[in-house]
Chain A
Amino acid sequence: QKEVEQDPGPLSVPEGAIVSLNCTYSNSAFQYFMWYRQYSRKGPELLMYTYSSGNKEDGRFTAQVDKSSKYISLFIRDSQPSDSATYLCAMSDYGGSQGNLIFGKGTKLSVKP
C-alpha cells in the first residue's frame, strides 16, 4: 500500500460547481498536510497548509483533515475555469525538512465554462 493515495482523475465539472479532492494515507504519524496546485508547464504552488487536524478556509478553498480516518480533502466552491489544474496533496510526519514531504500523484481537474 502506498503511503499516500490520490485519485488521478481526470475530474471534469461545470463552472460554479463545488469540487471535492481527496487523499488517503497510511502513516498515522503524518501531522503536516498541504495542497498544491500545478498548472500545465508550471511548478506546483502552495494552496493550503494545515498542521494536525481540523479545517482551514481561504477564500473559495477549504482544507479538511480527518486523522482518525487518515483522509484529507480540499473543497473548491464556485469553481472557475482558472481552477483547471492538477492538484497535489502532500504530507509529512516531521517538520524539520521539506524532504520528508510525501506527495500524492495528483488529480487533474478541468472546469468547463
Chain B
Amino acid sequence: KAGVTQTPRYLIKTRGQQVTLSCSPISGHRSVSWYQQTPGQGLQFLFEYFSETQRNKGNFPGRFSGRQFSNSRSEMNVSTLELGDSALYLCASSFLTGIGNEQFFGPGTRLTVL
C-alpha cells in the first residue's frame, strides 16, 4: 500500500509570492491534516479536512488556506509569503477523523522563503 505522498519535496520562493503544496493520502483515507514544523515552534496544526469539508483550523493567519478534493487529495496554499513561513510542511492522512484513528504522515515539503 503506497504511503502519503507530498509534492514538491523542496521549494524555494521569495517574499510576497504564493505557493501551493499538494498531498495524496493513503488510498481509502478520507481525513487529511496539515502541519507546519519549525525548530522554534515545533509541530503546529494548520487544518484538517474530512470528505472535502474543513473540520478544524489551527491558529494561523488567513494567508494559509487549504482544500480537499472528492478523491481525498488535498492542497494547501500560502499567499504573500513571509520569511517566517520557511518550514517543513507535513501532511497526514487517516481513515476517519478523531484521535483514535492513526495518522500517517508524508515526508513533507521543505519550503524556503528568501
Contact = CB atoms under 8 A, between A and B. Distances in A.
Interface string B42-53: 111101100000
A78 B77 CA distance: 44
A97 B55 CA distance: 8
Given A43-B107, A46-B103, A92-B99, A99 B42 contact: no
Nearest to B43: A103
Interface in A35-74: 41-46, 49
B106 A97 contact: no
B100 interface: yes
Contacts of B4: 43
A58 to B, nearest CB: 13
Give the interface residue-count category, chain B.
20 to 34
A100 interface: yes
B61 to A, nearest CB: 17
Contact of B48 (A44, A88, A99): A99
Interface in A77-113: 88, 90, 92, 94-101, 103-106
Contacts of A96: 97-99
B42 A97 contact: no
A44 B105 contact: yes
Contacts of A43: 4, 90, 92, 105-108
A32 B99 contact: yes
Given A97-B48, A99-B33, A99-B47, A45 B105 contact: yes
Contact of A98 (B57, B92, B107): B92
A1 B102 CA distance: 29
A32 B98 CA distance: 11
A98 B100 contact: no
B36 to A, nearest CB: 11
B45 A101 contact: yes
Interface string B2-17: 0010000000000000
Interface of A: 32, 41-46, 49, 88, 90, 92, 94-101, 103-106
Given A44-B43, A97-B56, A98-B99, 11 more contacts: A42-B107, A43-B4, A43-B105, A44-B105, A94-B99, A96-B97, A96-B99, A97-B97, A98-B48, A101-B45, A105-B41
